Amino acid sequence: MSNLIFFFDTYALFEIFRGNSKYTSYQDVVPVTTIFNLAELNYGLKKEVDSRVADDFTAKFLSFQTEVSFDDIKNAMSFKIKHKSLSIPDVVGYMVALRLQVKFLTGDEGFRNLPQVEFVKK
């Protein structure tokens, strides 16, 4: 899968942190994410592990963050109106993935069967 680009949503980032073997095949792809997904990841990790561990793991993805446009935000909030259970960082990320024309890597049930989604569950 090398040289492929995937958008890593917060679910995917958590599964990578937890060592989910189903995400091992994505270790050679180029990840893309947003600062919002990194914020959600960092917050969630700090509830589970030491702050330093959370910060160190989150920092590994800093260089892979991409810009979020106002159009991404507008489109994401319209999408969220219809998909209320999804997190704001993930719907923003999904719109970014659509704009960049890359697969959106997740195991979040709310994204199952949506266009451009690579769905990977435990």
CA-wise closest residue to 108 among 79, 86, 76:
86
pLDDT attached to residue 2? 57
pLDDT attached to residue 120? 97
Check pLDDT > 80 for residue 1: no
Check pLDDT > 90 for residue 54: yes
Q: In what order do the strands lie in the sheet with 103-106?
A: 30-32, 5-8, 103-106, 117-119
Query: From CA 9, how far away is CA 99, in angstroms rounded?
Result: 15
pLDDT attached to residue 57? 98
| Tens-place pLDDT, residues 81-109 | 999 999 999 999 999 999 999 999 999 99
What predicted TM-score, i.e. pTM, was given to this entire model? 0.94
pLDDT attached to residue 122? 74
Nearby residues of 58 by Cβ (< 8 Å), 6 or more positions away = 38, 41, 42, 45
CATH class of 5-119: alpha beta
Check pLDDT > 70 for residue 37: yes
The whole-number average pLDDT for the span 20-47 is: 96
